[in-house]
Amino acid sequence: MFDNLSSRFESILKKVRGKGRLTEADVDEVLGEIRAALLDADVNVGVVRNVVARIREAAVGAELSQALDPGQQIVKIVSQELTAMLGGETLKISYASKPPTVVLMAGLQGSGKTTSAAKLARWFKSQGRHPLLVGADLQRPAAVEQLRTLGKQIDVPVFSEPGDPVTTATRGLAEARRIGKDVLIVDTAGRLSIDADLMDEIRRISDAVTPNYTFLVIDAMTGQDAVNTAEAFHNTLAIDGVILSKLDGDARGGAALSVKEVIGRPIAFAATGEKLDAFEQFHPDRMAGRILGMGDMLTLIEQAESVFEKEEAEKTAAKLFEGEFTLDDFLDQLQQVKKMGSMSNIMGMIPGMPKAAKGAEIDDSMITVTEAIIRSMTLEERRRPEIINGSRRNRIAKGSGTTVPDINKLVKQFTEMQKMMKRMGGMAALSGGKANKKGKPGKVNPLKMAKAMREMGLSDLAGPGGGMKGFPPPGNNPSGIPSEGFPDFRDFR
Amino acid sequence: MNSAPMILLVLVGIVLLFGIGVVVFNRRKSALPESIEESAPVLVPKVVEAPAASPASVAVVSEVAVEAEEPEPTPGAVRRFARAAGIFNGSFAVLRGKDKITSETWEELEETLLRADVGLTTTTALLESLKSRVGRKDISTPQELLDALQGAMAGQLSSNSRELQFDSSVKMPNIWLFVGVNGVGKTTTIGKVAFAQKALGRSVLLAAGDTFRAAAGEQLETWAQRAEVPIVRGNEGGDPSAVIFDAVQSAAANNRELVLGDTAGRLQNKSNLMEELKKVRRVAEKEAGTVTEVLLVIDATTGQNGLSQAEQFALATNVTGVVLTKLDGSAKGGIVFAIETQLGIPVKLVGLGETIGDLVPFDPEEYVRELFAEA
Ligand SMILES: Nc1nc2c(ncn2[C@@H]2O[C@H](COP(=O)(O)OP(=O)(O)OP(=O)(O)O)[C@@H](O)[C@H]2O)c(=O)[nH]1
Ligand SMILES: [Mg+2]
């Protein structure tokens, strides 16, 4: 998400980074390109005008700073502007003292309200709440049916009855009270902001259920009209936050950046996939870093922390660095990694990940295939893949529905990874950490590890001649992954 | 599966290391790295050629006649299109307030076009050509400039045939597939097209090829009832190409002339889903039937991403036309200029509402006139 915008910014800012002096022509050129990048990303025209003016002003004053060179100054200013544009703080959800906490979903047709309602219900559940969904979209054929199906998938009850949406919403609220649900999420029909009748209808729904939160669902692919829509809905309903849908596409999402600037309400949640767990709270400050290509470390760290058990992770680390990591361990870890979300999502959050790797075809079905292969191996084979001979290979291929070359590749790559990890354990130990005899990794830190990986260019992983599908041609870098694409963590603490 | 395990291993390795690093070792949060690494080369998407010329003997369907025979028709769809003021409405005062063309005039024009999602590239191209005409003293007043711009924009839209292709000489039935990203209006458009084609005397059958989204089949079923045409459905979660295939077989067996195939919404950067769509198109014609239209549905609120949608869907399925939906809203769908000029894909239909009669053929002259309409 926002990837295209971030790669644009990276290449623009590269030009000024490290420059001791910026001429007026330099500033003009950079600003022109920033403007184009923002417009191509669908940032609202008026917002672009303001932002570019502010950056210009700040850039002109930049010479005064002693600490940073002008290039760094511009980077900093752009980053500040983006953060401001996105909104500073994460919207914190608080709960009504007298339940239920009522959430109203609003938006244009096809923006993703129904799916988002279900995702939100799932999110509330994960926060220990007990939501009830109300299907008040009585307009679109089978909309209630859709909500019911989704409700079943996440085990959340759905209330709806034919007739009038205002009545349904009111009855839904009564139902939540009756059955003791503490969160009520009301899905509504999509409507155009210029449709006076339907805007009046949603105002009446809102009056009837007096929501604690009214969320406007906006499609990440929306263009300049997003701010008009947001303004119109905001005038009618007083929006509390935006849910940004379909962020897993290649849209640059600039319209969303503009909404905060125009209605003064933050993006509260972002939806990043069709699956119901592809939904997260939106952290504006982190997103700015992500747009500038600095990755989204904080989210990644949080997700990692929620998934990996400290003790387990210690053991795994020890195994990894001792070269005792088996395919069976790998299978285990794969389950953990899967919990962190989709591969491409995770990749997007790793700072400095090569752009092409981000865009690579990281299909989560690859995980399934890999799992199938490993599962078709005996325990002994998983521990000592070197015993896998021709007949075993055939058996595994058959068992997993793959081919013998697939098995070969997996085993080979795994062995390479094993070697590299071991070497890295050694390197990290050398560079300060003490890996003690028992394999406890001691004071190795992730920054050093990452650095070590970068220095090695991950070359062992790509293997000899191993150009990777979807990765850029190796060029003069034998690894296939450009080493400068991997982050320098020295400043990260 | 090619190099899948390789990539996966690298990724899992990285993620694993990272996760372990984070959890086991000193937890450090706060500042992000100051330095931004150089970006790796990005794979540039191939430019798509204009769709192949239409088959030799195409029976011409000049109009999607929308006579409102619907139970509750919306009053004159075409007029609804005209209801909202044009994009230049707010700019006219600024533009006409001057008797000379100034830099402010150009800025105003540029912003107006950008606000309509025409996009920077197309806007710049349009304005550059006008600037040289102003330089040659071809144009001298703001009003002349507006007229010239209107002409230039209409000129960008005129090249391709916008007729829906129905050919009774090919292997029957004709198959029209509807593709596009999530929520743009594919299913609704199929309902409308079914109704209009039936009104032209064609025997139509719907194929519920969206087996993925919850209740997508029910939704299309409702439209089948409204348009009074038969429908073939499959199981939720089943293979979409199998559903389309079955529908085509059923149409062939029952002498139905036209199959309208719904497909699940998909984002164009999901390669596995785009592959699935290729397969749907391939399998559709495997025995009976010929695909004569692949209609890409684009929502008028779409911004610059619309071009990427058109590019990718065209690559996957050889799109023959665009349906621009939701033009009854405040968005103007300016991305179609880029789609038409850069990809050569013609807009064929326009959606103007949620009822069965809210569909009209795309008329470029009228569309551009509406953009310039005064309230
Ligand atoms: N105002 C307006 N709404 C439309 C138009 N076309 C479709 N819609 C609405 O847009 C919403 C989405 O339409 P669908 O037909 O379900 O879209 P889809 O592309 O099939 O969606 P998925 O199958 O979920 O990807 C529905 O609420 C439709 O009523 C139009 O021309 N104008
Ligand atoms: Mg649909």
Using CA atoms, how far apart are residues B342 and B53, in angstroms rounded to an integer?
17
Last residue of a domain, one of A292, A326, A345: A292
Among chain B residues, CA nearest to A18: B35
- A300 is a domain residue: no
Using CA atoms, how far apart are residues A427 and A265, in angstroms rounded to an integer?
48
Lowest mean pLDDT among A49-53, A334-338, B282-286, B364-368: A334-338
Q: B72-105 burial string, b = 16+ CB within 10 Å, else e? A: ebbeebeebbeebebbbeebbebbeeeeebeeeb
Q: Count Cβ atoms below 10 Å from residue A78 Cβ, excluding itself.
A: 23
| Three-state secondary-structure class, residue A257 | helix
CB contact under 8 A, B120 and A485: no
Q: Could you tell me which residue, A428 or A144, shows the higher pLDDT?
A: A144
Where do the H-state alpha helices sit in chain B? 4-24, 77-83, 92-96, 103-115, 120-135, 142-156, 186-199, 216-227, 240-253, 271-284, 305-317, 335-338, 364-371
Q: What percent of chain A has pLDDT over 70?
A: 68
Among chain A residues, CA nearest to B212: A274
| Three-state secondary-structure class, residue A59 | helix
| Residue entry with tokens 């990043």 | A272
| Residue entry with tokens 């009976």 | B288
Whether residue A315 sits in one domain with residue A277: no
- Chain B residue numbers touching A228 (CB-CB < 8 A): 330-331
Q: Is the pLDDT of residue A134 over 60?
A: yes
* A316 in contact with B, Cβ within 8 Å: yes
Distances from the Cα of A334 to the Cαs of A224, A308, A397, A449, A456, in angstroms?
A: 41, 11, 20, 20, 24
| Residue entry with tokens 């007096």 | A210
pLDDT in tens, chain B (375 residues): 333 344 445 556 656 554 444 444 332 222 223 232 333 222 222 233 333 333 333 233 333 333 333 334 333 344 444 455 677 766 777 777 778 899 989 999 999 999 999 999 999 999 999 999 999 988 999 989 999 999 999 999 976 789 999 999 999 999 999 999 999 999 999 999 999 999 999 999 999 999 999 999 999 999 999 999 999 999 888 999 999 999 999 999 999 999 999 999 999 999 999 999 999 999 999 999 999 999 999 999 999 999 999 999 999 999 999 999 999 998 999 999 999 999 999 999 999 999 999 999 999 999 998 888 876
State the smallest CA–CA distance between residue A96 and chain B in angstroms. 31
Using CA atoms, how far apart are residues B28 and A421, in angstroms rounded to an integer?
22
Using CA atoms, how far apart are residues A294 and A344, in angstroms rounded to an integer?
16
Whether residue A279 sits in one domain with residue A382: no
| Three-state secondary-structure class, residue B267 | coil
CATH number of the domain that A376 lies in?
A: 1.10.260.30
Residue A271 DSSP one-character state: E
CB contact under 8 A, B5 and A360: no
* B12 in contact with A, Cβ within 8 Å: yes
- Most confident region among A1-5, A270-274, A442-446, B69-73 by mean pLDDT: A270-274
Using CA atoms, how far apart are residues B321 and B58, in angstroms rounded to an integer?
15
Out of B4, B213, B222, the one facing A141 most closely (by C-beta) is: B222
Q: Could you tell me which residue, B293 or A458, shows the higher pLDDT?
A: B293
Task: Tell me which residue range forms the domain holding A147.
Answer: 101-292
- Chain B residue numbers touching A344 (CB-CB < 8 A): none
Whether residue A222 sits in one domain with residue A246: yes
Q: Could you tell me which residue, B82 or A181, shows the higher pLDDT?
A: A181
For chain A, what is the largest distance between any 2 Cα atoms, rounded to a whole number of angstroms?
Answer: 75
Using CA atoms, how far apart are residues A109 and B331, in angstroms rounded to an integer?
13
Out of A146, A192, A305, the one facing B329 most closely (by C-beta) is: A192
Alpha carbon of B297 to ligand 1 centroid (Å): 10
Q: Could you tell me which residue, B137 or A450, shows the higher pLDDT?
A: B137
Which of B42, B243, B59, B33 shows the shortest CA–CA distance to A6? Answer: B42
For chain B, what is the largest distance between any 2 Cα atoms, rounded to a whole number of angstroms?
Answer: 74
**What is the pLDDT, as a whole number, of residue B130?**
95
CB contact under 8 A, B29 and A298: yes
Lowest mean pLDDT among A40-44, A55-59, A424-428, B353-357: A424-428
* A410 in contact with B, Cβ within 8 Å: yes
Which of B212, B1, B7, B271 shows the shortest CA–CA distance to A372? Answer: B1
**What is the pLDDT, as a whole number, of residue B289?**
95
Residues A74 and A13 sit within 8 Å (Cβ to Cβ): yes
Q: Is the pLDDT of residue A99 over 90?
A: yes
The domain tally of chain A equals 3
Alpha carbon of B182 to ligand 1 centroid (Å): 9
- A94 is a domain residue: no
Using CA atoms, how far apart are residues A35 and A29, in angstroms rounded to an integer?
10
Nearest CA to ligand 1 atom 6: B185
Nearest CA to ligand 1 atom 8: B185
- A92 is a domain residue: no
Whether residue A285 sits in one domain with residue A206: yes
Residues of chain A numbered 459-478 and touching chain B (CB < 8 Å): 461-463, 466, 468-473
Q: Is the pLDDT of residue A355 over 60?
A: no
State the average pLDDT for chain A: 76
Q: A318-357 burial string, b = 16+ CB within 10 Å, else e? A: bbbbbeebbbebbbebbebbbebbbbbbbbbbbbbbbbbb
Using CA atoms, how far apart are residues A287 and A297, in angstroms rounded to an integer?
10
- Most confident region among A377-381, A388-392, A479-483, B182-186 by mean pLDDT: B182-186
CATH number of the domain that A136 lies in?
A: 3.40.50.300
Pairing outcome for strands B290-299 and B321-325: parallel
Which of A139, A146, A120 shows the shortest CA–CA distance to A131? Answer: A120
Residue B340 DSSP one-character state: I
Residues B196 and B65 sit within 8 Å (Cβ to Cβ): yes
Full set of structural domains in chain B with CATH: 46-63+163-364 (3.40.50.300), 85-156 (1.20.120.140)
* A334 in contact with B, Cβ within 8 Å: yes
Ligand 1 pocket test, pick from B187, B212, B296, B298 with the greatest ligand atom count within 8 Å of Cβ, gives: B187
Please state the atom number of ligand 1 nearest to the C-alpha of residue B329.
Answer: 1
Alpha carbon of A231 to ligand 2 centroid (Å): 28
* A250 in contact with B, Cβ within 8 Å: yes
CATH number of the domain that A82 lies in?
A: 1.20.120.140
Using CA atoms, how far apart are residues A263 and A256, in angstroms rounded to an integer?
11
Nearest CA to ligand 1 atom 9: A109
Whether residue A340 sits in one domain with residue A233: no
Contacts of A201-204 with C-beta under 8 Å, sequence gap 24+, read A201/A165, A201/A166, A202/A106, A202/A236, A202/A237, A203/A236, A203/A237, A204/A166
* A53 in contact with B, Cβ within 8 Å: no
Whether residue A333 sits in one domain with residue A377: yes
What is the H or E stretch that residue A34 is in?
helix A24-40
Q: Is the pLDDT of residue A258 over 50?
A: yes
CA B241 and chain centroid, separation:
21
pLDDT digits (tens, 9 = 90+) for A146-170: 999 999 999 999 999 999 999 999 9
- A302 is a domain residue: no
CB contact under 8 A, A110 and B16: no
State the smallest CA–CA distance between residue A235 and chain B in angstroms. 16
Using CA atoms, how far apart are residues B321 and B294, in angstroms rounded to an integer?
7
Alpha carbon of B65 to ligand 1 centroid (Å): 21
Among chain B residues, CA nearest to A13: B36
Residues of chain A numbered 174-213 and touching chain B (CB < 8 Å): 192-194
* B72 in contact with A, Cβ within 8 Å: no
Which of A338, A328, A336, A437 shows the shortest CA–CA distance to A377? Answer: A328
CB contact under 8 A, B331 and A295: no
- A490 is a domain residue: no
CB contact under 8 A, A254 and B303: yes
| Residue entry with tokens 């590890």 | A449
Nearest CA to ligand 1 atom 22: B183
CB contact under 8 A, B41 and A14: no
Residue A65: pLDDT band by 50, 70, 90 thresholds? low
Among chain B residues, CA nearest to A358: B42
Q: Is the pLDDT of residue A199 over 90?
A: yes
Last residue of a domain, one of A32, A59, A86: A86
Identify the burial level of B21 via C-beta atoms within 10 angstroms of its C-beta, where 0-12 means exposed, 13-18 middle and 19 or more buried.
buried
Q: Could you tell me which residue, A488 or A252, shows the higher pLDDT?
A: A252
State the smallest CA–CA distance between residue A446 and chain B in angstroms. 4
Q: Is the pLDDT of residue A420 over 60?
A: yes
- A487 is a domain residue: no
Q: Is the pLDDT of residue A257 over 70?
A: yes
In degrees, to the nearest 5, what angle opens at C-alpha B354 toward C-alphas B349 and B356?
70
Q: What are phi and psi of A139, to 5 degrees?
A: -95, -60
Ligand 1 binding pocket, CB closer than 6 Å:
A 109-110, 140, 190, 192; B 180, 182-188, 210, 213, 216, 265, 297, 325-326, 328-329, 351-354, 358
Whether residue A425 sits in one domain with residue A318: yes
Whether residue A278 sits in one domain with residue A130: yes
- Chain B residue numbers touching A251 (CB-CB < 8 A): 303, 305, 308
Residues A274 and B182 sit within 8 Å (Cβ to Cβ): yes
Using CA atoms, how far apart are residues A401 and A389, in angstroms rounded to an integer?
18
Out of B18, B182, B183, the one facing A446 most closely (by C-beta) is: B18
Using CA atoms, how far apart are residues B159 and B252, in angstroms rounded to an integer?
35
Substitution target from A79, A299, A366, A451 for chain B, most B beta carbons within 10 A: A366
Whether residue A323 sits in one domain with residue A267: no
Whether residue A172 sits in one domain with residue A38: no
Using CA atoms, how far apart are residues B189 and B185, in angstroms rounded to an integer?
6
Residues B350 and B359 sit within 8 Å (Cβ to Cβ): yes
- A470 is a domain residue: no
**What is the pLDDT, as a whole number, of residue A451?**
42
- A436 is a domain residue: yes
Using CA atoms, how far apart are residues B294 and B290, in angstroms rounded to an integer?
11
Whether residue A54 sits in one domain with residue A114: no
Q: DSSP characters for A394-426?
A: HHHHHHHT--HHHHHHHHHHHHHHHHHHHHHHH
Using CA atoms, how far apart are residues A35 and B347, in angstroms rounded to an integer?
29
Q: Count Cβ atoms below 10 Å from residue A179 Cβ, excluding itself.
A: 11
For A220, residues 6+ apart whose C-beta sits below 8 A from its C-beta are A1, A244, A245, A246, A247, A249, A251, A253, A255, A256
| Three-state secondary-structure class, residue B261 | strand
- Chain B residue numbers touching A116 (CB-CB < 8 A): none
Whether residue A318 sits in one domain with residue A279: no
Residue A402: pLDDT band by 50, 70, 90 thresholds? confident
**What is the pLDDT, as a whole number, of residue B96?**
73
